[in-house]
Amino acid sequence: MLNLSFRHLDIDRLSPFRGLHIPGEGDVKRYMRKITPELLQSVKSRLLIDRTPYKLLALVQLNTGFRLSEPLFARRDDLVLDHAIPHL
């Protein structure tokens, strides 16, 4: 990012972090499950059990793709249900 900023601002300098090495970086590989429609449905069904505000917030995120702050800080006025396409 620093190099990109230097280039954009026409600053003729090298990053002071260019020689930085982090020991062990890239050594550990973790398996990441592939996100499938079945996995999403499984997560949604678990969130519907014993509904809490936090679980409902997670459902809004899964169904809309919102960041956490978007549904969390939305006002009731932001919810439009009487539209051809209901939206938040």
Torsion of CA 47, 49, 51, 53, to 10 degrees: -20
Does residue 8 carry a pLDDT above 80? yes
Q: Which residues contact 70 (CB under 8 A, 6 or more apart)?
A: 64, 88
Residue 1: predicted pLDDT: 75
Q: What is the pLDDT of residues 32-83, one digit of tens each?
A: 889 999 999 999 999 999 889 999 999 989 988 899 899 889 999 998 999 9
Residue 38: predicted pLDDT: 95
> What are the residue boundaries of the structural domains of the chain, listed by start?
36-88
